[in-house]
Structure 1
Amino acid sequence: MNQSITRFGGRAAWLCLFFVLTHCGPPRRSEWKLLADEFTASWKAAGIAEEGSVSIKDGEITLHPGQPMTGVRFDPWKSADLPRMRYSIEYEAMRLEGNDFFGTMTFPVNEAHVSLVIGGWGGTLVGISSIDDMDANENNTHGNAYFENNRWHKVRVEVREDELRAWINDKLFVNVSTKGHKLGLRPGDIEKCAPFGFASFATQARIRSVVIRRL
């Protein structure tokens, strides 16, 4: 009996050690501040033809006017272990000059990418591009808002299994089911902002306080 107890005790000890090694490691990261010092060097100009200059200083991105578009891209989404589903994004955007989109964000939804357009098509359009090959001005995420220049606008996006939601200045603008729908980017320069980035169109824009969180 004593030998049986000893064998059982030894086996139990190994099981406990296995549990500790596999379940009690470092906690999984749940938040990323993408304009903090550790990530600043990971932002690159998108490489759009005739784009304006891009600068990052004091935790803010500035997109200078392009001919007509300027973009910036955060490359190491996968290597930084950022999520592609069940996550939220928060940031603030400001249009300093111009009257078109200024805080448009491209982001992953599982293996696809879409853009949240802010202030497009003459300055007021909000929506997701693209769903079922329809741009923000064509699909049912289409909305309108007035965006005052030289004012910070707070944005929050939630990416869930079958749903996208987006708030601007705490007002819900996008609440759409993605189940059974094709998601993708509008063909063209915006594709250079994938997997994650921001773009402006004939405007000068600033971006700050970019935070990703697991849901």
Structure 2
Amino acid sequence: MKRRIVRAFTCAVLLLAGLSSCGPKEPGTTPEAPLQWELFGKELGGHWKEAEMLHSGGVQQETDGHTLKAGSPMTGIVFPTWEKDGLPLTSYRLTYEAMRVSGKDFFGSVTFPVGAVENCVTFVLGGWGGSQVGISSIDGMDATMNATGSVQRFEDGKWYRIRIEVTPETLSVWLDDRSLAKADISRAQLSLRSGEIDRCVPFGFATYGTEGRIRNCVVERLGK
């Protein structure tokens, strides 16, 4: 009994100091399980590879991200070790910043997994002539056809912040903290638009005939 009292007192002191949590652990988790990943940071920054796209414009690594030079038509980078590195497949938040340096088409489109590495979609940023955004594809319909699509205005040389949240039921997208779309995917068929975008599976960025910059890419587990 004395040991229990001493342990309880010690836990209380540590909790007040913010040094420990002595309560029961959530089933299926470990104290070491990360809650956030900086994909362009020191630990994972070296895991990126240039996607093997025909007539790629090339990729230049920056201190906080990458520049994707204009390709003919596409340039991309891929993070092939997503599952191996223990990143989540659902119930996660993705944030990044993108800039169109020059060109007139998508400049920071991201392909990401939804529930499995074999089940990916793409958030199109500035496609179809420079203004289309949305998810490709849902139930066989790309970003120009499904309810997530919209037309936005983008300027060269300006950074835009994108936030995407993936859950088993929904896909939600924000642009500069402004809600763009929220799709019910609980019964939807998700897929990629045909073409070289599949070189970005399971996670990657791409541009189309356009030079773009990507930085500050962070993935976080969502709460309970």
Fold shared, TM-score > 0.5 on shorter chain: yes
TM-superposed deviation, 1:23 = 8.6
Structure index of larger Rg:
1
Does the alignment pair 1:138 with 2:154?
no
Distance in 1 between the 2:143 and 2:29 partners? 45
Determine if contact 1:40/1:56 at 8 Å carries over to the other structure.
no
- Over 4 Å off, 4+ runs: 22-25
1:122-181 per-residue CA deviation (whole Å, 9 max, x = no partner) reads: 111010000111111011111110011100000000001110000011111111100211
TM-score of the superposition, structure 1-length normalised?
A: 0.88
Q: 2:78 aligns with which of 73, 80, 84?
A: 73
Describe the shift of the 1:24–1:165 C-alpha distance in structure 2 as closer, same or farther (beyond 3 A): closer
Residue 53 of structure 1 is matched in structure 2 by 58
Residue 9 of structure 1 is matched in structure 2 by none
Does the alignment pair 1:173 with 2:180?
yes
Distance in 1 between the 2:28 and 2:182 partners? 36
1:163-202 correspondence to structure 2 within 5 Å:
163-202=170-209
1:171-206 per-residue CA deviation (whole Å, 9 max, x = no partner) reads: 111111002110010111000001000000111000
More helix by share: 1
In structure 2, what residue type is equivalent to 1:124?
A: S
TM-superposed deviation, 1:25 = 5.2
- Could you list the runs of 5+ residues in structure 2 that have no partner in the other structure? 1-23
User: Percent identity over the alignment?
Assistant: 41
Does the alignment pair 1:155 with 2:199?
no
Distance in 2 between the 1:53 and 1:106 partners? 18
TM-score of the superposition, structure 2-length normalised?
A: 0.84
Describe the shift of the 1:23–1:132 C-alpha distance in structure 2 as closer, same or farther (beyond 3 A): closer
Q: Over aligned residue pairs, what C-alpha RMSD do you find? A: 1.6
TM-superposed deviation, 1:26 = 3.3
- Could you list the runs of 5+ residues in structure 1 that have no partner in the other structure? 1-18
1:12-161 correspondence to structure 2 within 5 Å:
26-111=31-116, 112-161=119-168
